[in-house]
Amino acid sequence: MTAPQVTLYTKRNCPYCLRAKALLAKKGVAYQEVSVEGDDALRAWLVEKSGQMTVPQVFVGERSLGGFSDIDALDREGRLDPILRGEA
């Protein structure tokens, strides 16, 4: 089974974006980073897809996991790794 693509939507100077990147890096997860800065159409799409107006927003495949606090909570509960591997 191939792990799904992880996409991280971010902005510059965002401390929670840095934390999300650090958590994924600590887990050895490759991710695609997409800046939403200055792209109103992309921001609108992201709000529509995730229901959130804040960054970062983490997607595993087409699944929105939310922001840093959401993936941090999943990690502490032991639920993040299976999602990242495409098992959940």
pLDDT in tens, 45-63: 999 999 999 999 999 999 9
Q: What is the pLDDT of residue 52?
A: 92
| Residue spans per domain, the chain | 6-85
Q: Is it true that the peptide bond before 15 is cis, omega within 30 degrees of 0?
A: no
Query: Max Cα separation, the chain?
Result: 36
Cα–Cα distance for residue pair 54/50, rounded to 1 Å = 10
Sequence-distant (6+) residues with CB within 8 A of 70 are 58
Question: What pTM was computed for the model?
Answer: 0.93
CATH: 3.40.220.10, 3.30.1360.170, 3.40.50.300, 3.40.30.10. Which one for 6-85? 3.40.30.10
Q: Please give the single-letter amino acid code of residue 36.
A: V
Q: What is the pLDDT of residue 1?
A: 64
Sequence-distant (6+) residues with CB within 8 A of 72 are 19, 23
